[in-house]
Structure 1
Amino acid sequence: MTSDPAPTPEQTTGWRLSPGEPSLAGMFGTIPTRAKGPFWRKLIAFLGPGYLVAVGYMDPGNWATSLAGGSKYGYALLTVALVSNIMAVVLQSLCTRLGVGAGRDLAQACRDAYPRWVSWPLWLSAEIAITATDLAEVIGTAIGLNLLFGIPLELGVVITAADVFLVLALQAFGFRWIEAFVVALLGVIAACFAIQIAMADPDWGAVIRGFAPTTRVLTEPGMLYLALGILGATVMPHNLYLHSGLVQTRGFGHSPAEKHEAIKLATIDSTIALTFALTINASILILAAATFHHAGQTDVAELDQAHAFLAPLLGSTLAPTLFGIALLACGLNSTVTATLAGQIVMEGFIQFRIKPWLRRMVTRLIAIVPAVVVTIIAGEKGTGQLLILSQVVLSLQLPFAVVPLVMFTASRAKMGEFVAPRWLSVAAAMIAAIIIALNIKLVFDYATGG
């Protein structure tokens, strides 16, 4: 198929501005797809972007919230992981629809639809979310280096600035190499947790019951705080911008039929990837519940704590090593996706292009400062709380990305024949309402000391 350089005139109806340059211009439409052939061959060409989005499930900040939730509440918060996954599937399907159907990533759509006094605050909100994500990566990668190689946290935080060269090297080889790198590291993470859970031998009956809904999340402020952290680490704001741009790396053609098929295939890709990521996300919580909570260690929130406790609890020195390897792999993975998301956000909102390495260095340096300060003042103990806080910040930023996404994809004037089905828009609107309501309750509880 041939790639579509810009949306057709019919698709620009309802937008205030023209789309301008395509999303991720250097990679736009560079991956060929199949116009004919068996379904599985067509699908293979679209597999990839969903796994980059799924990396959000394994962000180091998610480890902190899942470890804290599993150690304190056992398997109870598995239901939050499941609900978050369902929300992610729905919202990411809207991202593919926006990217393919309207030919815009979410940042471009906000710029094209809103006046500057609206789009610029949304841009700042997106940058805050990316900085919070980067903060989690800095701390997680530094802890991984410390656990595996004994590198001091302060030095590890500084070393993480060098990851920009990894991203640059991958981009030089082409986008398929980036996807292959991410998928390979996901495989490493999955293997590490599979072995650790086999060692932990959890109560599988309790695991299944943990996926059942519980009202405790709403009645216990501490559980709500961790639940929102899990939600923020799962349905991450930058993933919505990222996915709506990544789907446009495929050369899916420009006819309505080709675009409808591209939306279907890209949605299948993201759904498979997010379902796989749910197993990883749940594995972190299950491991914490089966080891720490079962042994009465109900206050494990620090990654180094978890690393230290695994060997005596599981009776094997292999477990903490696998934990450190998985943590380092997850930090490297998150680096790649945060870099791409930052590029999409800056170019889409304000049409400002800078070299990827410079963009990466700026955001990484912003994240390094609080990480270094906390590490020096509070030591290792403060890093876990900072990780959880970063995830709650992501949850508080979610509405500023979710609401525009739902509004755009529900508008026939903006989407034309690619408008989301009514049932999907209603489901997405309910998800947005739930996220906003939970955030309001969280702020109210902590403002009133509840």
Structure 2
Amino acid sequence: MSVDVTERRPRAAPARILLLLGPAFVAAIAYVDPGNVAANLTAGARYGYLLVWVLVAANAIAVFVQYRSAKLGIVTGRSLPELLGERLGTGARRAYWVQAELVAAATDIAEVIGGAIALNLLFGLPLPLGGLIVGVVAIGILAVQTRRGQRPFEAVILGLLAVIAVGFLAGLFVSPIDWGQAAGGLVPRFDGAPTVLLAASMLGATVMPHAIYLHSALARDRHGATPDEQHDAGRIRTLLRATRLDVVLALVLAGAVNIAMLLVAAASLRGVAGTDTIAGAHAAISSALGPAVGIVFAVGLLASGLASTSVGSYAGATIMGGLLKLRVPLLARRVVTLIPAVVILALGVDPTWALVLSQVFLSLGIPFAMIPLLRLTGSRAVMGDAVDPVWTRILGAVVAGLVVVLNLVLVVLTVTGG
């Protein structure tokens, strides 16, 4: 039974729309996680304002893709992994789950490492111990979702997002930003193979595969409906209107935080030795902008790690449940996925470089989430009258094609050492 979302009904009151906001802000945590910090600081410290355009483009892609994911969950009442699980054969479904699970594992590693770095900067804790603490606190945050439901979980995540925004925007107001050069950074260009690698890392950190999988589930769970309500055109139209606002507000905030990180690094850290690591950048920020700004930066990084590792575990459970029909408790999943991150920290691997490489890996996973999503939202059999119009499908194909090309270039450069 198709849903006619073009039927005219009275518009929902603004207050009603505001009450429907929330899921996109949870998904937006993926766009301001520690991997973003590492990629953006590295880009700004090494190449100044050169790659500002990458963040702007990536954020525009994120708005386009995340709205489609939420729309899919609202219209169909199913998550992207569930719909894929229904359409794939057993072998293909398991293979698809493996790549999606690897993406989720890379996300977990980045988030725990980022939180551990923050605890080291704030309190001097050893990185492995910091990783364990981040994992334990994340378990507490996940317990809120398990016991209290989605709305209290959203409230906790929104609070952490506010801390993240303050932590990373604070430096913007005391840094000597060259706004002319920053505007020049909006012109798309590269400066050799290393900048392509960084651009892929920034793309992977901004358009994150697990957020694409997750948002459909967040929208479905938040706006759950009875079978009759699922075919209520007026209700769906109201939810889609609220979702557009939700996605734009959440991702404009996330985009502003990301761009602020790069601008601060370009203005205050360019040419300073050691600033292509988070610890070095923190030291330089504290020296150049004052210890108070350095502390606020570290607190923002800690909030980023705590929030994103909780959301990442939620995404992993969504992927497994949809593709394999297995329900592993969120808390148990968090304990298992904590191990690789702590091992990496204990082995003494450079944490900032581990974060950057994790984001490159995430970039490789984007097409596997994006292309099926766009195929589903462009299918009238799946979406009914809420199907994406032709121009949206064409734009989606162009966006997906650009992402695939960038990833192929990245693979070639990585293999050849270019």
Q: Into which bin does the TM-score normalised by the smaller protein fall?
A: over 0.9
Map of 1:257-406 to 2, 5 A cutoff? Answer: 257-293=234-270, 296-297=271-272, 300-314=275-289, 316-373=290-347, 375=348, 378=349, 382-406=350-374
Of 335-344 and 82-91, the range deviating more from structure 2? 335-344
Q: C-alpha deviations, 1:93-122, integer Å up to 9, x for none?
A: 111221111221110011112212222221
Secondary structure (helix, strand or coil) at the match of 2:104 reads helix
* Residues 336 and 161 of structure 1, relative CA distance in 2, 3 Å threshold: closer
Q: Within 5 Å, which residues of 2 pair with 1:48-87?
A: 48-87=22-61
Alpha-carbon distance in 2 for matches of 1:169, 1:47: 19
* Corresponding residue number in structure 1 for 2:391: 423
Note the C-alpha offset of 1:239: 0.3
User: Contact 1:54–1:277 (CA<8 Å) still a contact in 2?
Assistant: yes
2:397 partner letter: A
The code of the aligned residue for 1:285 comes to: L
- Structure 2 SS opposite 1:200: coil
Contact residue 34 and residue 111 of structure 2 kept, 8 A: yes
The yes-or-no answer on 1:439 pairing with 2:407 is yes
The DSSP-based 3-state class of the residue aligned with 2:272 is coil
TM-superposed CA distance for 1:231, in Å, is: 0.3
Give the secondary structure class of the aligned counterpart of 2:328.
Answer: coil
Give the conservation status (yes or no) of the 8 Å contact 1:242–1:344.
yes
Per-residue CA deviations over 1:55-80 (Å, capped at 9, x if unaligned) read 11211011111000000111111100
Deviation string 1:191-243 (CA, Å, 9 cap, x unpaired) is 22333221213112222222x22222xx6210010111110001000001110
| TM-score, scaled relative to structure 2 | 0.93
8 A contact 2:113–2:341 mirrored in 1: no
1:91 paired with 2:59, answer no
Q: Is contact 1:193-1:280 (8 Å) kept?
A: yes
Cα distance in 1 between the residues matched to 2:187 and 2:93:
37
Q: Aligned-pair distance for 1:45?
A: 2.0
Bigger mean CA deviation after superposition, 199-208 or 59-68: 199-208
Structure 1 residues 137 and 170, CA gap change in structure 2 (3 angstroms):
same
In the TM superposition, residue 158 of structure 1 has moved relative to its aligned partner by: 2.4
Paired residue total = 407
The answer to whether the Cα contact below 8 Å between 1:68 and 1:299 also exists between their aligned partners in 2 is: no
Distance 1:39 1:302, change over 3 A: same
Name the TM-score, length of structure 1 as normaliser: 0.87
Contact 2:379 2:387 in 1 (8 A): yes
Which amino acid in 2 is paired with 1:184?
G
The residue aligned with 1:250 is 223
Q: Provide the secondary structure at the position in 2 that maps to 1:278.
A: helix
Residues 102-155 of structure 1 show CA distances to partners (whole Å, capped at 9, x for unaligned) of: 221110011112212222221111111111111011110111111111111121
Shift of 1:445: 1.8
Cα distance, 1:173 vs structure 2: 2.6
Q: Counterpart of 1:390 in 2: which secondary structure?
A: helix
Distance in 1 (CA, whole Å) between partners of 2:400 and 2:171 is: 35
| Number of the residue aligned with 1:222 | 194
Shift of 1:313: 1.8
Alpha-carbon shift at residue 371 of structure 1 (Å) = 3.2
Give the Å deviation of 1:317: 1.4
The farther-off stretch of 433-442 and 176-185 is 176-185
1:36 shift after superposition: 7.5
Unpaired runs of at least 5, structure 2:
4-8
- Give 2:123's aligned residue: 149
The Cα RMSD (Å) is 1.8
Q: Aligned partners of 1:44, 1:172: CA distance in 2, in Å?
A: 25
User: Distance between the aligned counterparts of 1:63 and 1:75, measured in 2?
Assistant: 15
Q: Report the Cα distance in structure 2 between the residues aligned to 1:201 and 1:195, rounded to whole angstroms.
A: 13
Aligned pair in 2 of structure 1 residues 207, 137: CA closer, same or farther (>3 Å)?
same
Aligned counterparts of 2:98 and 2:51: Cα–Cα separation in 1: 31
Assess, with a 3 A threshold, how the Cα gap between structure 1 residues 402 and 176 changes in structure 2: closer, same or farther.
same
Q: CA deviation at 1:350?
A: 0.5
8 A Cα contact 1:225 1:442, kept in partner: yes
Identity among equivalent positions (%) equals: 35
C-alpha distance in structure 1 between counterparts of 2:384 and 2:188, whole Å: 40
Query: Which blocks of at least 5 consecutive residues in structure 1 are unaligned?
Result: 1-8, 12-34
> 8 Å contact 2:11–2:238 — kept in the other structure?
no
Distance (whole Å) between structure 2 residues aligned to residue 171 and residue 250 of structure 1? 17
Q: 1:10 to 1:170 in 2, by over 3 A?
A: closer
Q: Indicate the residue corresponding to 2:6 in structure 1.
A: none
Task: Give the 5 Å matches for 1:175-186.
Answer: 175-186=150-161
**From 70, 75, 83, the counterpart of 1:109:** 83
Q: Is the 8 A contact 1:80 1:227 kept in 2?
A: yes
Match for residue 237 of structure 1? 209
Identify the residue that residue 416 of structure 2 maps to in structure 1: 448
Q: Relative to structure 1, is the Cα distance of residues 415 and 36 closer, same or farther in structure 2, using a 3 angstrom cutoff? A: closer
Paired residues of 1:157 and 1:372 also in contact (CA < 8 A): no
Q: State the partner residue of 1:194.
A: 169
Q: Which stretch of the first structure deviates more once superposed, 184-193 or 95-104?
A: 184-193
TM-superposition CA deviations, 1:19-45 (whole Å, max 9, x none): xxxxxxxxxxxxxxxx97853112212
Secondary structure of the structure 1 residue equivalent to 2:174: helix
SS at match of 2:62: helix
